[in-house]
Amino acid sequence: MLNQAILYTEGDLGTAAFIAVGIFLFVFIAISFHLLHETAAALLGAVTVFLVTYIWGTYNPALRLLTFEDAMAVVDWNVIALIMGMMIFMALLAETRVFKWLSFQMYKKAKGNAWLIVVALISLTGFASAFLNDVTAILLIAPLSIQIALAIGLHPFAIVIPEILASNIGGAATIIGDPPSTIVGSHINLSFGEYLVNMAPISIICMIALIGATWLIYRKEFSKTKKEVSPALIEQMESESQITGHATLKKALLIAALTMVGFFMTEKFSQMPVGVVAISGAAILIAWVRPDMSRTLREVDWSTLLFFIGLFIVVGAMEKTGVIYWLATRVAVLAGDSLHQASLLTLWISGIASGIVANIPFTVAALPVADYLTSILPGAVESKVIYWSLILGADFGGNATYLGSAPNIVAVGLLAQAGYRLSFGRFMRDGVPVTVLTLIIASVYLLLRY
């Protein structure tokens, strides 16, 4: 599981290690507190690693943090291929407006019952987040949800905040749902099926818990909604919720279904990486749909791919200079010899950290620590429990604050565009209890199952 290109350095940390930590902290703080665009921060960090290695390292070989060759080996190309493949699917599927259509159908079927509408939209967001990127799910569902809330006289927070929480919880159900799931799953070469069998049950249980928590928090709001909605508003929502490109939708759904089958079949084909399946599905879809290629490629969000590449390089430098090994041995001391203690420690540390800082860089940095703990604790290799703990902590912990996860940030922006300012504290009022609840449920699940 450990990357062969990277050798842990035992012993005291040298100057190179401190420089690597400094670069990582710069990237981490810049991302977490939005001092720089995430991609700019990660690329700047990666470039600094190279400049220190090749300029400073020429005069002092001990300061060679990470060579370009090492860097190519530490980048998880499976993650990059998986994200790129899914982006192409998402770009074509999003154009069809199928999720908006589904949201509006749910609104109609609920006949003005606010509680039913909220449950349906939370469930749809959770389901969509399991198969689409969680940010895409929020961008597709939240704008219409805000309109539905306003139409029935419900405060938009009562729908959109639970949707944000659902996107992070639902995203944990599959290896393609949330970035931490993809990063960890790819790192240990998990098949789609193995991931699903282990993580979908806890994701579904936590979705049910979220629905219960939503009722407790907003039950008074639900009883105050109005039944009569202006015809002009209904007409506006209906007009924007029409499926466009039926042919593209049919083709995209068929290829998506085949890609899902492919995800389940990877174990049978020499442990084919899921990234290969995703990029194959995307290539077949492009060939079949024949979209405007330059437009489709423009819609692939290259900044995300560069962000991941930069981040892998920055963390790779910490790994190479022994920082991660040093950190891992300290965590191992805290965990003792107990696998249960280590898994709970991993779950709660990653859960709390992901609420405070961005969960993607945290997950990339925590992975080598999880590798180390798995290698020294009896039973950890077979059960993979340390990795499951890291995934659940990073995915669920991202719900505590709106800085924790990308869909939170995007949804806060969408609400602001509708004139509703969701403050840090207001988000935490709902986010923290749900995070603690889901982490407690996850703790019980991990202890009982592994």
What number of other Cβ atoms are within 10 A of residue 258's Cβ?
15
Q: How far apart are CA 134 and CA 111, in angstroms?
A: 28
CB of 417 to other proteins, least distance (A): 5
CB-wise, 239 or 270, nearer to other proteins?
A: 239
How far CA 362 is from CA of 210, 311, 398, 429, 436, in Å, comes to: 24, 10, 11, 23, 19
Q: Which is nearer to other proteins, 58 or 303 (CB)?
A: 303
- Give the C-alpha separation, 127 to 231, whole Å: 30
Q: Which is nearer to other proteins, 29 or 208 (CB)?
A: 29
Angstrom distance (rounded) from CA 354 to CA 330 = 20
Distance (Å, rounded) from C-alpha 211 to C-alpha 263? 29
CB of 372 to other proteins, least distance (A): 28
Element (H, E) at 423: none
First to last CA, the chain: 20
Could you count the other beta carbons within 10 Å of the beta carbon of residue 313?
26
Tell me if 445 sits within 8 A of 205, measured CB to CB. Answer: yes
Q: Between residues 118 and 146, which has the closer beta carbon with respect to other proteins?
A: 146
Listing DSSP states for 20-45 in one string gives: HHHHHHHHHHHHHTTSS-HHHHHHHH
Minimum distance of other proteins from residue 46's CB (angstroms) = 13
- Burial (CB count within 10 angstroms: exposed 0-12, middle 13-18, buried 19+), residue 233: middle
Question: Nearest distance from residue 181's CB to other proteins, in Å?
Answer: 14
Taking the least distance from each CB to other proteins, the nearer of 133 and 389 is 133
Between residues 171 and 322, which has the closer beta carbon with respect to other proteins? 171
CB 292, min distance to other proteins, A: 14
Min dist CB 139 to other proteins, Å, is 4
Q: How far is the CB of 423 from other proteins (least distance, A)?
A: 8
Which helix or strand (DSSP H or E) is residue 244 part of? Answer: none
* Residue with Cβ nearer other proteins (13 or 229): 229
Tokens 């290259």 belong to 302
**Closer to other proteins by Cβ: residue 90 or 327:** 90
- CB-based contact 101:128 (threshold 8 Å): no
Q: Measure the CA–CA gap between 184 and 188, rounded to whole angstroms.
A: 6
State the minimum distance, in angstroms, from the CB of residue 150 to other proteins: 6
- Rounded to 10 degrees, the C-alpha dihedral 280/286/289/291 comes to 170
Beta carbon nearer to other proteins, 185 or 404: 404
Q: Which is nearer to other proteins, 140 or 342 (CB)?
A: 140
Q: How far is the CB of 408 from other proteins (least distance, A)?
A: 9
Q: d(Cα 365, Cα 359) in Å, to the nearest integer?
A: 10
Nearer to other proteins, 105 or 303 (CB): 303
| Residues near other proteins, by CB under 8 A | 34, 37-39, 42, 83, 87, 90-91, 94-95, 133, 135-136, 139-140, 143, 146-147, 150, 230, 232-233, 236-237, 240, 299, 301, 303-304, 307, 406-407, 409-410, 412-414, 416-421
As to burial, measured by CB atoms within 10 angstroms (0-12 exposed, 13-18 middle, 19+ buried), residue 419 is exposed
CB contact at 8 A, 31 and 361: yes
Q: How far is the CB of 100 from other proteins (least distance, A)?
A: 8
Closest CA to 403 of 345, 343, 362, 348: 362
Min dist. Cβ of residue 136 to other proteins (A)? 5
Buried b (16+ CB within 10 A) or exposed e, 137-169: bbbbbbbbbbbbbbbbebebbbbbbbbbbbbbb
